[in-house]
Structure 1
Amino acid sequence: MIKKIIMIAFLISYGSNAQTFNKVKLDSLFMMIESNNLGMGSFSIFKEGKEIYQKSIGYSDVINKAKNNKETKYRIGSITKTFTATIITKLVEEGKLSFNTALNIYFPNIPNAKKITIENLLRHQSGLFNITEQENFASWIITPKSREQMLGRIIKNGTVFEPGKETKYSNTNFILLSYIAEDIENKSFAKILESRIIKPLKLKRTEYGKKIRSKNNEALPYFEEDSKWELIKNRTDLSGPIGAGAIVSTASELNVFFENLFSGELVSNTSLGQMMDTSTGMGMGLDGNVLYDKQIYGHDGAIDGFQSLSIYLPKEKLAVTYIANGVVMSPKNSILTALKIYFGIDNKLSEKPALTLKPEELEIYLGVYKGGTFPFEIKVTKEDTALIIHAKNGPTFPLEAYDKDKFRSEPYEVKMEFFPNQNKMILDLKGKRSEFIRE
């Protein structure tokens, strides 16, 4: 565990001097996360509506050794709330609802229903007790729940403050918003999601979640214990959280959703501005923050061991998502580190820019190299335009070229100089040089 804490701290502080997007460095980051059992999941970056980077690591099903990939579905937890807020906002635009509509129009038995408005629900200012904090929540949410059962619990739990007086996150708010959408549209939330968002955006791997089917490339959730991924067997029945956390999707398709939301394809610019307004502490289905002097909006999610984060940078027109089904290093810290690499923040390690070599130019470096110091044996392979290092009893990671016959990995503080005609390689590990001979 101490090793993992040190690794996480290093990754969070890691930066690069690249002035443009560098795929090899991002590959190195996620290869490091994977090889050190810091996470399993999928990561995606969209720039101006186009995917410019995607990486999946670890397994969707550990026992059957099914690897996560771009099409793997994950439970996205509370990122669902951004979808729900979008649907509610669209209903307001169509005149079917108002942000000032009181909750008692739909659910008069809810405490303070006459005082609570739709906007209070959207901004987590209703004062309603957060149902996921109820005693024994984890045990009763794993079985199917009807609307009547959920409403009964919401009514019984009562309130914690007067509407509009505070801002406090509560899943209860978005469960109720889901029911309101169903009543207005006269169909299930799953059908509303399909007609309002999934079909218009042509999403193929996004839906209202059901029981996980690993054979359908749907990820199972895991926790890390003693350097092994252990399956989480008790899982939420998604009839309970509904519009607060029931959607499953992929990292790439979440970026499609956020790109379309912020480009005005789902709601008007005026409505989007209201959703982005965080002056009361939270927006409507969106959180706002400043990252590296850049304004970001988005939402995170956590359910049954799944953790996720989607963010959008309006000025840069950049959408970034990481969904994990096994977490030691959080999606937040993974994205922070990835964006440091993407934006070239913390100009420290490299004295020369990276070079791009053709795949055939890498052939002369491939093979197995043996030396007298740890790791004693290093296998060098290639993947596309990158050399891949496989250290015996050590990590696997890519190298980038920076000079003739010279390669490096900034995260590992490794440099390698190859002498193809002499069948040898000099390894520089944190300033300590060792000679390796190719077999």
Structure 2
Amino acid sequence: MTRRFIAIVFVITISTFTSNAQDFSRLNQFLDSLETHDKFMGNVILRKNGETVYSRSLGYKDFDASIKLDKETRFRVGSISKMFTTSLIFKAVEEGKLHLDRKLSDFFPEIKNADKITMSMLLQHRSGIHNFTNDSLYQSYFTSPQTRQRMVQIIADAGSDFEPGSKGEYSNSNFVLLTFILEEIYNDSYLNLVKERITEPLQLKNTYVGKAPLKQEAKSYTFENGWKEEKITDMSIPVGAGAIVSTTEDLGKFIEGLFSGKIISKESLAMMQEIREGYGRGMFQFPYYERKAYGHNGGIDGFSSMLGYFPEEKLTICYLSNGTNYNNNSLILAVLDTYFGKGIELPSFQTADLKTEDLDKYLGVYSSEQIPLKITFVKDDTSLIAKPAGQPDTVLEARGSHVFEFVQAGATMIFDPEKGEMTLKQGGSSILFKREGN
């Protein structure tokens, strides 16, 4: 399980609408099924014109103490924090304290290529600065407090992955540095800047820069034969890249305030929305049919999150999860399909009952001519485990004759033992793997 604070762009492309009827009974059944089968814990909200039209809480804030989640529960929101940091950067630009073309070398000349990297490149992930959370070293210190000096040194030591401006590639390092730049130009802490310039003006009473977890905050979990509590990232590490704590309602008010001009100007917002190679400035674009939402998503520890806003419809969707054993993109689709009057299918979590010897026919190393990836399949009693090269081990769920799923990634693996083949289906793609030495 990765504990990095990350962002994954959801691409939502499916068929056409029907009516605009808003009957949420089917969605409630969908979410009931997720909760019953330990697939999702968290809060979900839909807001239209600044008013909540649907919300649900599923699962536990504290699983071991049997304390249920409610709408007031606060979650670590991960990379949604980058929207707060970007808003502060644009406020600094509007106040004349910063320019988007200002060079990083004015603040951190020790960073490789700092004289070529602009504030705009940092915001749009075009700096080339290596993402420090991708390194194995990160696992050795992520639970311990780190100073600003140490974080800058870690980022500087990691170097550069590509020439600044030549392409876009996600890096949390960009927003850690932007946090420190904000603190320097304002001579104030990031915590105070968020409070004074965003949360207090918008009256976001449950949103703040996290420190040690408070009793109002959810604990986070991964599912390994039951919900297991995750280790906690020290918030001195992600700062403006992932340290915000909030609720679904507060995040709805935040993004609505952002798009209505209550935080930055319309001109600044338009620059946030400029998408280049998948990246805006502190913002992503989420397509849904012909419609487009703007926002961010992310994950930290066992938390995952998504916040999106459809400007034309003035519609906000947000989920904050403290435990997921499911492909959350399917959850987003179920919520939006319901709102826009499209029928949804209830998920099926029936599993095949296999004996340990039944798994022997699937074991081995599989490779593909279509992609440069090898997957080794091993077993642990009655569980089949996929070990993709360079990725975490994954326990698969048996779905039927020769069919296994990795639900969180939306991946299905179909074996043909007689041919020694496995077909991986994910995101509309179908990739054939063959067992080596077969």
Structure 1 or 2, whichever has the larger Rg, is 1
1:197 is matched with 198
Q: Deviations over 1:282-302 (max 9, x none)?
A: 101110132122111111111
Match of 1:249 in 2: 246
Residue aligning to 2:294: 297
Give the aligned partner of residue 230 of structure 1. 228
8 Å Cα contact 2:248/2:319 also seen in 1: yes
Q: Distance in 2 between matches of 1:254 and 1:331?
A: 18
* 2:237 match: 240
Which aligned pairs between 1:103-142 and structure 2 lie closer than 5 A? 103-142=104-143
CA distance in 2, matches of 1:33, 1:252: 22
Match of residue 265, structure 1, among 253, 262, 265: 262
Mapping 1:196-215, distance limit 5 Å? 196-213=197-214
Letter in structure 2 aligned against 1:281: G
The DSSP-based 3-state class of the residue aligned with 1:136 is helix
Pairing 1:29-428 to 2, within 5 Å after superposition = 29-213=30-214, 216-226=215-225, 228-232=226-230, 234-346=231-343
CA contact (8 A) 2:82 2:241 kept: yes
Q: CA deviation at 1:29?
A: 2.2
**What is the rounded CA distance, in whole Å, between the counterparts of 1:121 and 1:131 in structure 2?**
14
Residue 261 of structure 1 deviates from its aligned partner by: 0.7
In 1, Cα distance between equivalents of 2:15 and 2:276: 32
Do 2:285 and 2:295's aligned partners in 1 also have CA atoms closer than 8 Å?
Answer: yes
Q: Give the whole-Å Cα distance in 1 for the aligned partners of 2:340 and 2:272.
A: 27
> Could you say which residue in structure 2 is the equivalent of 1:370?
none
SS class of match (1:96): coil
Using the size of structure 1 for normalisation, the TM-score is 0.73
Amino acid at match of 1:167: G
Letter matched to residue 148 of structure 2: R
Cα displacement (A) at 1:18: 5.8
Is the partner of 1:53 in helix, strand or coil? strand
What runs of 5+ residues in structure 1 fail to find an aligned partner? Answer: 1-11, 350-439
Q: How many residues align?
A: 334
- Letter in structure 2 aligned against 1:182: E
Shift of residue 252, structure 1, vs aligned partner: 1.1
2-side partners of 1:322 and 1:73: how far apart? 12
Give the distance between the partners of 1:319 and 1:13, measured in 2 at CA: 20
Q: Quick check: 1:103–1:113 contact (8 Å CA) kept in 2?
A: yes
Aligned counterparts of 1:250 and 1:36: Cα–Cα separation in 2: 24
Shift of residue 93, structure 1, vs aligned partner: 1.0
- State the alpha-carbon separation in 1 of the partners of residues 98 and 345 from structure 2: 54
What fraction of aligned residue pairs are identical, expressed as a percent?
40
Identify the residue that residue 382 of structure 2 maps to in structure 1.
none
What are the superposed Cα offsets for residues 275-332 of structure 1, whole Å, 9 maximum, x if unpaired?
0010343101110132122111111111001000111111110011001001012433
Question: What is the alpha-carbon distance in structure 2 between the residues aligned to residue 294 and residue 209 of structure 1?
Answer: 34
Q: What residue identity is the alignment partner of 2:220?
A: P
- Residue identity matched to 1:297: Y
CA contact (8 A) 1:128 1:170 kept: yes
Are the aligned partners of 1:41 and 1:324 in contact in 2 as well (CA < 8 Å)?
yes
Q: Deviations over 1:379-438 (max 9, x none)?
A: xxxxxxxxxxxxxxxxxxxxxxxxxxxxxxxxxxxxxxxxxxxxxxxxxxxxxxxxxxxx
- The alpha-carbon deviation at position 51 of structure 1 amounts to 1.3
Alpha carbons 1:16, 1:346 under 8 Å: kept: no
Structure 1 equivalent of residue 24 of structure 2: 23
Q: Distance in 2 between matches of 1:245 and 1:348?
A: 34
Q: How far apart are residue 139 of structure 1 and its match?
A: 2.4
Q: Is the 8 A contact 1:17 1:347 kept in 2?
A: no
- The residue aligned with 1:388 is none
Closer, same or farther: CA 163–16 of 1 in aligned 2, 3 Å: closer
Change (3 A) 1:63 1:55: same
Q: Does the Cα contact within 8 Å between 2:286 and 2:308 map onto a contact in 1? A: no
C-alpha contact 1:221 1:231 (8 A) present in aligned 2: yes
Q: Secondary structure at the match of 1:162?
A: coil
Segments of 4+ moved more than 4 angstroms: 12-18, 346-349
AA aligned to 1:83 is F
Q: Deviations over 1:57-85 (max 9, x none)?
A: 10000111111010001010001001101
Cα distance in 2, alignment partners of residues 33 and 60 from structure 1: 16
Aligned partners of 2:154 and 2:134: how far apart in 1?
12
1:250 Cα deviation from its structure 2 partner: 0.7
Indicate conservation of the 8 Å contact 2:20/2:341, yes or no: yes
Equivalent residue of 1:148, what SS?
helix
Distance 1:14 1:230 in 2: 37
TM-fit CA distance, 1:15: 11
Deviation (angstroms), 1:135: 2.1
The CA deviation string for residues 8-39 of structure 1, in whole angstroms up to 9 with x for no partner, is: xxxx9999966322232332222121111110
Task: Provide the C-alpha distance between the structure 2 equivalents of 1:14 and 1:309, rounded to a whole number of angstroms.
Answer: 22
Alpha-carbon distance in structure 2 between the residues aligned to 1:107 and 1:331:
38
Q: 1:141 to 1:119 in 2, by over 3 A?
A: same
Query: Alpha carbons of 1:348 and 1:310: their partners in 2 closer, same or farther (altered >3 Å)?
Result: closer
Q: Is the 8 A contact 1:323 1:331 kept in 2?
A: no
Q: Which amino acid aligns with 2:91?
A: K
